[in-house]
Every structure is written in structure tokens, then in C-alpha cells.
Amino acid sequence: MSEQLGVLDRLAAAALERAEELRKTTNLDALYQEALLFEKRDFAGALKAPGLSIIAEIKRASPSAGFIGEADPADLAARYQKEGAACLSILTEPEHFKGCLEDLDARERVTLPVLRKDFTVDEVQVLEAGTRADAVLLIAALFEVGPLARYVSLSVELGLTPLVEVHDEREVDLALESGARVIGVNNRDLRDFTVDLATTERLAGKLGAAILVAESGVKGPEDARRLRDAGADAVLVGEAAMRDPALIPKLSAVV
């Protein structure tokens, strides 16, 4: 891992403990084969559609917002699809986001590609994601370039789309060196939880041909238009949509 990042570092440490337990209780060869055979949907392709694509997120809580609300992932996934979302993001982190791996079963109710959003710090978690999801989140701040490139390569090998998340210029360079083709710019600074949409505006021009997903801070169509104008191919909307699911069709109308 790179520099200490407060809550992110703690979340990663807890994720490593879960990964170590998974390694003890799972046949890794069987898990690899299961992930390899699980038919994936084209997450990256869904983000290339004309206009601004919406990734609607399902999460019950977060460290910055606290408890947001209960949700039935399958029902919410079906609603988000009906209202124009291009993809889904589902939080599976149990302690701070109140998610679980089984929440990914919501995928069975929709035809949309699904991102497993968690704190991936071990290859076994990539394998696990490959058995239930179409894309996996890799947070650049948790890696050096060698390991990140290995995780990107493993994801692609399994048919997963790796969404590599960055917050600053150094992490952009790391993502590009790793071979990432879909890069998420997190407008939230995970060290102090401040949100600034200018983060996407500052970094967008450095991403080359990568698909750009703007994450965090979208509260309405004006925010979405601002990020689209900055060069975002997609926006990921979590807390605001959980509090007001009617936001998704409004964002989907932004072209």
C-alpha cells in the first residue's frame, strides 16, 4: 500500500482479513474456474454508449454519510434499470457500507452489467468478484504499479472489467501504467471526505483514451452536465440516488 489514508487504510486492512479467511476456506483452483466460466456482461461497452452513462449505486451506508437506509438490492436494481441506468454498482463491504456478497445476486433481476464495489487487496477477491459480477473496483491508492498491473491483468483474464479509481495525478499515472482502460476519478478525498467536482475537471485531460467515470458529488442534473462537459463518459451516483431514486431518470436525461 502507499501512504496512510486514514479510513481507507482501515477499510483495506479489514478487507485483507476477510481475504485471508476466504483463502483458508476456499479451493482457489475451483474458484478460479468458476470465475472463468461465469458469463460476463460488457461493463466497459455499456459506458461507451452515446451521451452520459449513469452507474447507479446500491449501498446502505458509508463512512461519510453514516446509515443511509435499508434497501432490497434486487428491487432497487430493477428500478434503476427501468429508469435508465447503464450499469449498477453494488457495495459488498459489510462493516461500514452494510453490504454483503449476496447483494450481487440482484444481478439476476436485471440485464445491466454490475460492478462489485469493495476494497480489493487480494487476488482471491478478484476471483470472488468474477463469480458474481461483471466489473471489479481497484483503488489505485492501495497499490504500487506492479501489483496493480497484475490485478488488472487477472481481471481481464476472467472477463471482468477493472475500474481503476484515482484521485490525483500520481494515481492517474499509476492507473495508466497498469493498463487500465476504465478509470474512475473519485471527487471525494478519502482522507477528509471533502468533495470537489473540480477533481474530475483537473484530471480528465490526463487520461488519454481511457473511459472516464466521474465518482462522488453528483446531486442533480447540473452536476452531471458539469462532469459531462469536463469529459466524463459516465457518472457514478450513490448516496444521492439512494436518498432519492427518482434522481436516476433525471440524470439519464442528460445527453
Beta bridge pairs of residue 234: 53, 213
Beta bridge pairs of residue 4: none
* H and E: helices and strands count for the chain: 11, 10
Residue 164, all three cell numbers: 481503476
What is the set of active-site residues? 57, 59, 117, 165, 186, 215-216
Contact 214, 54 (CB under 8 A): no
Residue 20, all three cell numbers: 485471508
H or E element, residue 195: none
Question: Count of residues for the chain?
Answer: 255
Query: Which residue from 208, 230, 203, 206 is spatially nearest to 218, judged by alpha carbons?
Result: 230
Task: Determine the Cα–Cα distance for residues 238 and 139; give it in Å rounded to an integer.
Answer: 17
Beta strands in 48-156 (DSSP E): 53-58, 61-62, 66-67, 87-91, 114-117, 135-139
Beta strands in 77-149 (DSSP E): 87-91, 114-117, 135-139
